[in-house]
C-alpha cells in the first residue's frame, strides 16, 4: 500500500515540454514540485521565467511559487511522486521509439525509493507502462514493483496553442497499479483539474483509451481527406459539401488537411505496432494513416497542375509556403506535415520560400534544414500556399496575399482562410 499521503507528496515532473511544463506549473502553485529536464538551455529559460513554447505565460510561471527547475539528478532524490511527460515519437520506419521513455525510467530508477509512485503521461500502446517501463525501474533501482514502489498512468490531453481547453479544464483519465495507488493518483490530479477525473479500471485500459482518442480522429480526417480528393475530381467545393452535410445534427465537423503534430499522426502507429505484435494486422487504421501521410504529395501535385494550366513553367518556379507549424497560432514544429509539401515541390524543381512568424528559425533549421524568411517579397511568387491558418495570415487578406504573387500566379488555400471565390485552389 502507498505509504505517504497526498499532503506529503513531493512531485517531480520529468520532461518540460508542451505537456510537462503546464503540469509542473499547476502543481507548483500548491505543492512542492521539481521540474526536471536534461535540456539545460530549457531549464535556464524557465528559471528566467520564460516559456519558449508559449504554453505557459511568464506570469503563470511566477505564480508557481513552489516550483523549481533543475537538470541535476540529485535534486530528484527528495521527491516521492514522479510524473513522466517525455515525448514518444516514431522512427523512420513508423515504429514506436520508446528511447525517451526508457531513459526517463532509468533516470528515475537511480533515485527511486520504497513507497514511491511513478506516473506516466506519455502516449504508449497498451501494456507499455508495466511491460517496458516498470522492468527498467526495477532493474536500475533494485526494488520490486507493487511491493517497494508503484506505478500509475494518466494520459496527457494537452492541445498545443489552445487557450480555452487547458490542463485544468479537460477531464483527466487516471489509473494505478493497485486500487490504493489508483485512488492516490486520482486524488492527486483531482486536486488541480477542475473539470474532474475518470478513474480507469487498470493502467492498460487508460493506455488504450489514450491511443484510440487520436486514432479515431485520424481516421475521421482520413475519410474527409479522401472525400476531398473525390470532390476535387468532380469539380465540387469540399467545404460547401461539408457545410451542407453539417446541417444534420449528428454529422461530425471534420475538415480535410495535413495531419501532423505529436499525437494524431503518431499515436495510431503505437496501436498498430501492438496489434501486429499479438498477431493481428490492422487494416482500417493503417489505410487511414497511408491516406493522411500521402496528402502532402497530393497538395503539391494539385499546385503543379494548376501552374501548368496557367502555362507557368514548373521547374524553377517560385512558391511561397505560408506556415510551417503543425497547427495554427502555435510554434510547435513536431511532426509537421507541411514539410511533405515542401519536399515534394522541391522534387519538381520548384524554389520554395517558407514564411512563418510563429517559428523559431534555429529550430526549423535544426529539425528540417529550412530557414524561414522574415518577410515574403512582393510580386515574386508563381504560387502561394496557405498551409497553416495563423491569425496573421488571415489578417493580410486576399489583396495582400495576391500582391505577393506575380501577375499570373496560383493561390492555394489549404485551410479555408479565404472565401471560396477568392482563391484559385482549395483542398
Residues recognised as catalytic: 263
Burial class (CB in 10 A: 0-12, 13-18, 19+), 103: middle
What residues contact residue 10 under an 8 Å CB cut-off, 6+ apart? 31, 32, 33, 34, 78, 79, 80, 81
Give CA–CA dist 377/409, Å, rounded.
Answer: 14
Give CA–CA dist 423/411, Å, rounded.
Answer: 5
Burial class (CB in 10 A: 0-12, 13-18, 19+), 179: exposed
Give CA–CA dist 89/261, Å, rounded.
Answer: 10
CA dihedral 262, 427, 356, 397 (to 10 degrees): -140
Give CA–CA dist 221/225, Å, rounded.
Answer: 6
Q: CA separation (Å) from 317 to 303, 324, 371?
A: 11, 20, 19
Give the three-state DSSP class for 261: coil
Beta bridge partners of 383: 319, 410
Of 421, 324, 320, residue with least CA distance to 363 = 324
Which DSSP category does 149 fall into?
B
Give me the count of residues in the chain.
427
Cell of 265: 499522426
Give CA–CA dist 305/112, Å, rounded.
Answer: 60
Give the three-state DSSP class for 352: strand
Give the three-state DSSP class for 351: strand
Give CA–CA dist 367/348, Å, rounded.
Answer: 22
CB 363 within 8 A of CB 319: no
Amino acid at each position: 500500500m502507498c505509504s505517504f499521503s497526498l499532503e506529503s507528496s513531493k512531485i517531480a515532473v520529468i520532461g518540460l515540454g508542451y505537456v510537462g511544463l503546464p503540469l509542473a506549473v499547476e502543481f507548483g502553485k500548491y505543492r512542492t514540485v521539481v521540474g526536471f529536464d536534461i535540456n539545460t538551455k530549457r531549464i535556464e529559460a524557465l528559471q528566467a521565467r520564460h516559456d519558449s513554447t508559449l504554453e505557459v505565460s511568464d506570469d503563470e510561471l511566477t505564480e508557481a511559487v513552489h516550483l523549481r527547475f533543475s537538470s541535476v539528478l540529485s535534486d530528484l532524490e527528495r521527491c516521492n511522486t514522479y510524473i513522466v511527460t517525455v515525448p514518444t515519437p516514431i522512427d523512420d520506419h513508423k515504429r514506436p521509439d520508446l528511447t525517451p521513455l526508457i531513459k526517463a525510467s532509468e533516470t528515475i530508477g537511480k533515485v527511486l525509493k520504497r513507497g514511491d509512485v511513478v506516473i506516466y503521461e506519455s502516449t504508449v500502446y497498451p501494456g507499455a507502462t508495466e511491460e517496458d517501463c516498470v522492468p527498467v525501474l526495477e532493474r536500475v533501482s533494485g526494488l520490486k514493483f507493487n511491493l517497494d514502489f508503484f506505478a500509475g498512468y494518466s494520459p496527457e490531453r494537452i492541445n498545443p496553442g489552445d487557450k480555452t481547453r487547458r490542463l485544468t479544464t479537460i477531464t483527466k483519465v487516471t489509473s494505478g497499479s493497485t486500487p490504493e495507488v489508483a485512488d492516490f493518483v486520482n486524488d492527486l490530479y483531482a486536486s488541480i483539474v477542475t473539470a474532474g477525473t475518470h478513474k480507469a479500471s487498470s493502467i492498460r485500459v487508460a493506455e488504450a483509451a489514450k491511443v484510440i482518442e487520436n486514432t479515431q480522429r485520424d481516421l475521421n480526417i482520413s475519410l474527409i481527406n479522401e472525400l476531398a480528393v473525390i470532390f476535387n475530381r468532380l469539380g465540387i467545393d469540399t467545404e460547401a459539401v461539408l457545410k451542407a452535410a453539417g446541417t444534420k445534427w449528428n454529422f461530425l465537423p471534420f475538415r480535410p488537411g495535413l495531419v501532423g503534430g505529436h499525437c494524431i499522426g503518431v499515436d495510431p502507429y503505437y496501436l498498430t505496432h501492438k496489434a501486429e505484435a499479438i498477431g493481428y494486422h490492422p487494416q482500417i487504421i493503417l489505410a487511414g494513416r497511408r491516406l493522411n501521410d500521402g496528402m502532402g504529395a497530393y497538395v503539391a501535385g494539385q499546385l503543379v497542375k494548376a501552374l501548368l494550366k496557367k502555362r507557368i513553367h514548373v521547374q524553377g518556379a517560385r512558391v511561397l509556403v505560408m506556415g510551417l507549424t503543425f497547427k495554427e497560432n502555435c510554434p510547435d514544429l513536431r511532426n509537421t506535415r507541411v514539410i511533405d509539401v515542401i519536399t515534394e515541390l522541391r522534387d519538381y524543381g520548384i524554389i520554395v520560400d517558407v514564411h512563418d512568424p510563429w517559428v523559431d528559425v534555429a529550430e526549423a533549421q535544426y529539425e528540417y534544414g529550412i530557414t524561414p524568411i522574415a518577410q515574403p517579397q512582393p510580386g515574386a511568387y508563381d504560387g502561394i500556399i496557405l498551409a497553416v491558418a495563423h491569425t496573421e495570415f488571415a489578417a493580410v487578406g486576399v489583396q495582400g496575399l495576391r500582391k505577393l504573387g506575380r501577375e499570373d500566379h496560383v493561390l492555394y488555400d489549404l485551410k479555408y482562410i479565404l472565401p471560396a471565390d477568392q482563391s484559385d485552389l482549395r483542398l
